[in-house]
Structure 1
Amino acid sequence: MSQPDDNSEVARLQKENQRLRRALEELSILNEIAVAINSALSLDRILESIVQKCTKHLQVEQVAVLLLDEQVEEKPFQTMIRGWDTRADTLPYRLDTQLTGWMLKNKAPLLINDFEKDNRFQTLPEKTPLIHSLLSVPLLSKNRMIGLIIVFNKKAESGFSKEDQRLLSIIASQSSQVIENARLLKEEQRLLKVQQELRLAYDIQTNLLPKESPKIKGYDISGKSIPAKEVGGDYFDFIPIDSHRIAFCLGDISGKGMPAALLMSNLQATVRGQSLVNATAAQCVECCNTMLFNNTPPEKFSTFFFGILDTKTQRMTYANAGHNFPFLFSTRQEPRQLEEGGIVLGVMETFPFKEQQIALEPGDIFVLYSDGITEAINKHEKEFGESGLISVIEKNMNASARELTNKIIEAVKEHTGDCIQYDDMTLVIIKREK
């Protein structure tokens, strides 16, 4: 064999040896990354592992992993993790939006070795001097883009190579499903926590409500609350004051879940405390207002109706803080809506709530309700309304308070059908027996 042929064969073998060595190194790198990300127990740890391995094996100054959050329209990509070898906490905003916009549109690798001269980013007012080269690849899961990996500033003067692009693309492909599974697990854990909090809030709310309606000679009383799909803040209570007086209330606290349940608990403690020290209706409402104002953020408030029934005088004294106006039904006249009242609780530190008084004659029915009754909507987005409430009551004037309560709730459910309701339905009915 001639000398040139020998040299050619040696060169070929050396080239093949280099290729095999690179392939072996690549497999070693990918195996190292696979072990790292699959052993990580959280999304943050997975992303940290990707950043560390990319920084080490691609020899770059900085790595960013951005995950796509489709629920955020204005800025769908959220930077989840940054490389440690950096002088900036975030990407320059306009570069961030242009780069992610290009990736969303093309869903393909992007390799730039001379950032200053790349015409895709010429609209930046001043090219950031910190970025000289970059390589970005999409994170794809089932052909859907879930994020991207970006590496900045290759330490080698030659910049990024096609081999770098290939390696980073394989890393992204290897990581995508692990990231997606971790995100799904994180979301499942979040939902589980929410469900646990809702169950606890429901238990708190249920335990705060009366287990049974009071038995008072000459009166038929009923109270009931039907929780909505989301645990809301409806609260009602009956509080005996002495042998001939009983306090009652109904409030609708803003918000849902645990915050509403805890606020409801505070409100109940205040109401009961005031009732037991013989406070008037107005004094009780004013005290509740001050408590809410001083102990809750500005966006928290509550409607609230508080009344005291005196079975000696057959009169009801009440104060209304922005709650739905109750109705008084009588066989002697048209239904009367008690339209007096003040502002909701918690928006002003002090407010002079006025007290009102009505007489209850035999056969009269006092109906207190939350907006979950009147604002319940059907598939045509039509509310049950006050007219629906009045109609049911007028058709059932001779029913007991409990029967009337159930009739109203049945009518509301018939009106709404399969439509999900997001407000509790709560009723307090006081009927003076004939």
Structure 2
Amino acid sequence: TIEELSSVNYRLRTLLEIFQSIGTALDEDELLERILDQLFDVFPESGRGFIILRDPDTGMLTPRAVKKAKPDVTDSEERLPISGTIIEYVLERKQAVLSADAMSDDRFPTSQSILDFEMRSVMCAPLMYEDEVLGFILLDTQRIASNYDEEGLTLLAGIANQAALSIANARLHSQLLKRERLEQDLRNARRIQNSFLPTEPPHVGDYEFVDWYGTALEVGGDFYDFIELPGGEVVVVVGDVSGKGITAALMMAQMASNVRFFAGARPQPAELLAKLNQVALSSATDM
């Protein structure tokens, strides 16, 4: 019918507008605020809106964004007006739920939170991404709302699907930025580590020194050095710190510095190694 076509057209147009609005947001907090702003435009009778996300590390459900029609009305931080009963219901079924009048809804007969928070019309939709529940969108009113109906629920479910995709993209973007920063830090660490190594081998009589340095990771614990002393003497040092990566590289930097410091006093090799061993044991105790 014409009414059905008009309804479908409205939903598609609304979904497109919301996708265009939230699709460019790559910061997760900014994205969640945009989603709630758009939802309050689509469902103007809403009194409160929540986006509850599952923490990727702990798995705990945490309210990440909150919007109220009356911002001056504040709730205790210890108890936000969210119905755990409805959240559990949606989590179990992994599908959106509508309650035109939650206070008289037989599905939630024992929910004290619904009574305490005076929740009337409620819609809640899961944020699904590749069969994983990222969280939920929950909207409610303290009076029965005309657009909290099956058509509105279908629209909210569609918005939740788009929102879940945008949240997943924002998290992926954040992970890529962290990885890029880490890789840049490792490249910088490699340049710093290379600065501890000799720039060229020494030229001593008929001796020829050839050196090469490579690590399994960006940085490592192997090191070598040529320390030229007065009188034409050269101390050749080769070391291997146990392990790989940043920890081994830090130990390598410390050891390379200690070698040059103690070698300046021109001790015998055994004495030099004994001093280095003493310092290394002391450092290991402090760590």
Could you tell me the TM-score, scaled by structure 1's length? Answer: 0.48
**Alignment CA distance shift 1:37-1:224 (3 Å):** same
Q: 1:65 touches 1:79 (CA, 8 Å); kept in 2?
A: yes
Partner of residue 36 from structure 1, selected from 8, 15, 21: 21
1:117-136, aligned counterparts within 5 Å?
Answer: 129-130=116-117, 132=119, 134-136=122-124
| 2:30 alignment counterpart | 45
1:234-249, aligned counterparts within 5 Å?
Answer: 235-243=223-231, 244=233, 246=235, 248=237
| 1:61 alignment counterpart | 47
The Cα offsets for residues 28-69 of structure 1, whole Å up to 9 and x where unpaired, read as: 533431221134354443322111111332232332334445
Alpha-carbon distance between aligned partners in 2 of 1:128 and 1:232, rounded to the nearest angstrom: 61
Q: 2:94 touches 2:133 (CA, 8 Å); kept in 1?
A: no
User: For 1:209, what is the secondary structure of its paired residue?
Assistant: coil
Q: 1:205 touches 1:261 (CA, 8 Å); kept in 2?
A: yes
Alpha-carbon distance between aligned partners in 2 of 1:248 and 1:346, rounded to the nearest angstrom: 24
Alpha-carbon distance between aligned partners in 1 of 2:184 and 2:196, rounded to the nearest angstrom: 18
**Alignment CA distance shift 1:180-1:234 (3 Å):** same
User: For 1:229, what is the secondary structure of its paired residue?
Assistant: coil
Count of aligned pairs between the two proteins: 276
Offset at residue 138 of structure 1 (A): 1.5
Alpha-carbon distance between aligned partners in 1 of 2:222 and 2:115, rounded to the nearest angstrom: 55
Identity %: 22
| 2:136 alignment counterpart | 149
Alpha-carbon distance between aligned partners in 1 of 2:168 and 2:55, rounded to the nearest angstrom: 12
Alpha-carbon distance between aligned partners in 2 of 1:209 and 1:44, rounded to the nearest angstrom: 45
**Alignment CA distance shift 1:101-1:273 (3 Å):** farther
User: For 1:108, what is the secondary structure of its paired residue?
Assistant: coil
Alpha-carbon distance between aligned partners in 2 of 1:101 and 1:224, rounded to the nearest angstrom: 61
**Alignment CA distance shift 1:179-1:127 (3 Å):** closer
Alpha-carbon distance between aligned partners in 1 of 2:92 and 2:279, rounded to the nearest angstrom: 51
Alpha-carbon distance between aligned partners in 1 of 2:93 and 2:106, rounded to the nearest angstrom: 17
The Cα offsets for residues 263-305 of structure 1, whole Å up to 9 and x where unpaired, read as: 866x4796478458x56xxxxxxxxxxxxxxxxxxxxxxxxxx
Partner of residue 75 from structure 1, selected from 54, 59, 82: 59
The Cα offsets for residues 51-102 of structure 1, whole Å up to 9 and x where unpaired, read as: 11113322323323344455x2x32545443336473587859x78876655
Alpha-carbon distance between aligned partners in 1 of 2:238 and 2:140, rounded to the nearest angstrom: 67
Q: 1:36 touches 1:46 (CA, 8 Å); kept in 2?
A: no
User: For 2:159, what is the secondary structure of its paired residue?
Assistant: helix
Q: 1:67 touches 1:147 (CA, 8 Å); kept in 2?
A: yes
Alpha-carbon distance between aligned partners in 1 of 2:212 and 2:83, rounded to the nearest angstrom: 54
1:106-117, aligned counterparts within 5 Å?
Answer: 106-112=93-99, 113-114=101-102
Alignment partner of 1:199 is 2:187: yes
> Which one has the bigger helix percentage?
2
Kindly name which structure, 1 or 2, has the bigger radius of gyration based on alpha carbons.
1
Alpha-carbon distance between aligned partners in 1 of 2:208 and 2:111, rounded to the nearest angstrom: 76
User: For 2:47, what is the secondary structure of its paired residue?
Assistant: strand
Q: 2:227 touches 2:260 (CA, 8 Å); kept in 1?
A: no
The Cα offsets for residues 370-402 of structure 1, whole Å up to 9 and x where unpaired, read as: xxxxxxxxxxxxxxxxxxxxxxxxxxxxxxxxx
Matched to 1:343, the amino acid is: S
Q: 1:241 touches 1:247 (CA, 8 Å); kept in 2?
A: no
Could you tell me the TM-score, scaled by structure 2's length? Answer: 0.67
Alpha-carbon distance between aligned partners in 2 of 1:253 and 1:98, rounded to the nearest angstrom: 54
| 1:343 alignment counterpart | 282
- Give the alignment's Cα RMSD to 1 decimal: 4.8
Matched to 1:48, the amino acid is: E
Unaligned 5+ segments in structure 1 are 1-15, 280-307, 324-341, 349-434
Partner of residue 187 from structure 1, selected from 175, 197, 222: 175
Alpha-carbon distance between aligned partners in 2 of 1:211 and 1:100, rounded to the nearest angstrom: 64
Q: 1:68 touches 1:145 (CA, 8 Å); kept in 2?
A: no
Q: 1:67 touches 1:79 (CA, 8 Å); kept in 2?
A: yes
The Cα offsets for residues 90-136 of structure 1, whole Å up to 9 and x where unpaired, read as: 7859x788766554432111345436987769588x77834625432
